[in-house]
Amino acid sequence: MKVMWFTNTLVLDRDQDDLSKLRYSGGWMLALCQGLRDRRPEIELAIVTTHPGSSTERYASGGIDCFLVPMRSNSSERQQAAALKECARIVEEWGPDVIHIHGTERFFGLLSARRMVSAPTAISIQGLMQPYAEWYHFFGDRSLADIIRMHRLIEIPVMRGLIWDYRRFRKAARREREIILGNRHFMGRTLWDRAHLHSINPDARYYRAEEAIRRPFWDVRWDISRCRKRRIIYVNPNHPRKGAETLFKAADILKRICPELEVALVGTISSRSGYGRYVKKEIGKRNSYLCELGPLNAVEMAQELCRSHVFVSPSFIENSPNGICEAQLVGMPVVSSYTGGVPSLLKDRYSGLFFPTGDAPQLAATVSRIFEDDALAEMLGRNAHVAASARHDIGSIADRLADIYGHVIQMSPEGLQA
pLDDT digits over 297-306, tens only?
Answer: 999 999 999 9
pLDDT of residue 22 exceeding 80, the answer is no
> Which pLDDT score, from 0 to 100, does residue 126 have?
93
Say how many residues make up the chain: 418
Alpha helices in 150-222 (DSSP H): 162-182, 191-200
Are residues 280 and 271 in contact, defined by beta-carbon separation less than 8 angstroms?
Answer: yes
**Helical segments of 16-58, H only:** 27-39
Tell me the pLDDT tens digit for each residue of 159-211. 888 999 999 999 999 999 999 999 999 999 999 999 999 999 999 999 999 99
Please tell me what DSSP assigns to residue 275. Answer: H
Cβ atoms within 10 Å of 297's Cβ, excluding its own:
11
Distance between CA atoms of residues 263 and 367, nearest Å: 12
pLDDT band of residue 414 (cuts 50, 70, 90) is low
| 8 Å CB contact between 363 and 335 | yes
Q: What pLDDT digit, counting tens, does each position of 231-264 carry?
A: 999 999 989 999 999 999 999 999 999 999 999 9
Task: Give the list of residues 6+ apart from residue 33 with CB closer than 8 angstroms, or none.
Answer: 10, 19, 45, 47, 64
The helix or strand, by DSSP H or E, that contains position 185, with its residue range, turns out to be: strand 185-188
Question: What is the percent of the chain with per-residue pLDDT over 70, rounded to a whole number?
Answer: 95
User: What pLDDT, on the 0 to 100 scale, is given for residue 25?
Assistant: 42
Instruction: For residues 321 and 304, give the distance between their C-alpha atoms in angstroms, rounded to a whole number.
Output: 18
- Cα–Cα distance measured from residue 235 to residue 318, given in angstroms and rounded to the nearest whole number: 13
What is the predicted pLDDT for the residue at 415? 60
pLDDT tens per residue, range 93-146: 999 999 999 999 999 999 999 999 999 999 999 999 999 999 999 999 888 888
Confidence at 21, pLDDT banded by 50, 70, 90: very low
Arithmetic mean of pLDDT, 21-28: 51
**Packed helices 374-391 and 322-330: angle between N→C axes, nearest 10 degrees:** 110
Q: In what order do the strands lie in the sheet with 2-6?
A: 57-61, 64-70, 44-51, 2-6, 98-102, 121-124, 185-188, 205-208
Which pLDDT band, with edges at 50, 70 and 90, does 62 fall under? confident
Q: Cα Rg for the chain, rounded, in angstroms?
A: 22
User: Phi and psi for 120 in degrees, rounded to 5?
Assistant: -55, 140
Query: Per-residue pLDDT for 24 more than 60?
Result: no
Q: Which carries the bigger pLDDT value, residue 144 or residue 365?
A: 365
Say how far apart CA 69 and CA 88 lie, in whole Å: 11
What's the rounded mean pLDDT across residues 27-45? 88
Residue 42 exposed, middle or buried by CB count within 10 Å (0-12, 13-18, 19+): exposed
Are the CB atoms for 56 and 67 separated by under 8 Å?
yes
Provide the H-helix boundaries in 55-202. 77-94, 110-113, 129-132, 135-139, 144-149, 162-182, 191-200
Whole-number mean pLDDT of the chain?
92
**133 close to 165: Cβ distance less than 8 angstroms:** no
153 pLDDT higher than 50: yes
pTM for the model stands at 0.92
74, 292, 321, 348 from 268: Cα distances, Å = 21, 9, 17, 30
Distance CA(117)–CA(225), nearest Å, equals 56
